[in-house]
Structure 1
Amino acid sequence: MVFEFQQKVLFKHCDPAGIVFYPRYFEIINDCVEAFFDKVLGWPFETLLKDGGVPTVQIATEFKAPNRHGDWLLLQLHVAKLGRTSMSLEIAASTEGEARFEVKQTLVCVDKAGKPRVWPEAVQDMLKAKGTDQ
């Protein structure tokens, strides 16, 4: 299962040269993850954050080519592995079919105290139903 998320590169994402300032890509990546939790898992962050969270504990990004103001990014998110308390994501981003960056990211499901907790059964069931790698 691949979740697709589109983002137009806005003025706020760019440096004075009109290309994306790389930390802004991490905001776009997080927007993609947040949309995935809402639209696919049915667990929007405004609900999830009431009694815990899903912080990123590891992220590796390879930048392939720059984006410019006005470009459209297509992010394709794939859950590579669902562990007991962690989730490994892979995200490939492209513009008009040209690779822009690739991400490998690990999230951990935590309780209010920041301690790892098992993914809710509904989340596990949804990912299994969507054909997520286990």
Structure 2
Amino acid sequence: MFDFGFWELAIVMVIALLVVGPERLPALAGQIGKWVGKAKRMIASVRSDIESEIKAAELKEILEKQQGEIGELKEMLKGTQNEIEKELDLENENENEDEGKGDRELIRAVENHIESTKQKELLLSSEESAKIGPNMDKAEQKHDDN
């Protein structure tokens, strides 16, 4: 703190001895020691306060910088999320359209099957009636003969 050498300190002590006297010199030295101790503690306290404020300012700068980066990341994530949601919506629409096409195709296939079944039934019934028809005629003739 103060740059006092041995000789400067010795000269100050001799002057203090002459001015104060030998009886009050020890009490004065004790008070000076207390004041020097208080001054050292106060200087150390101020130094630590300044250092902590500097560290706090540095931490605030780092925190603000990181919060800015976090904000950018959040925006990027929101953009990515929106893109993914749009892609999913398009895929769902395509799937719905595909399902609708599949449903329509299934309905057409069922209708075609029903139609072909009806045609087969008509053919079978016409064949049966053709078979039954001559037999009926024969049965009627026999019946008429009797």
Normalising by structure 1, we get a TM-score of 0.19
Bigger-Rg structure (1/2)? 2
Work out which structure has the larger RCO, using CA pairs closer than 8 Å and 6 or more positions apart in sequence: 1
The structure carrying a bigger strand percent of its residues is 1
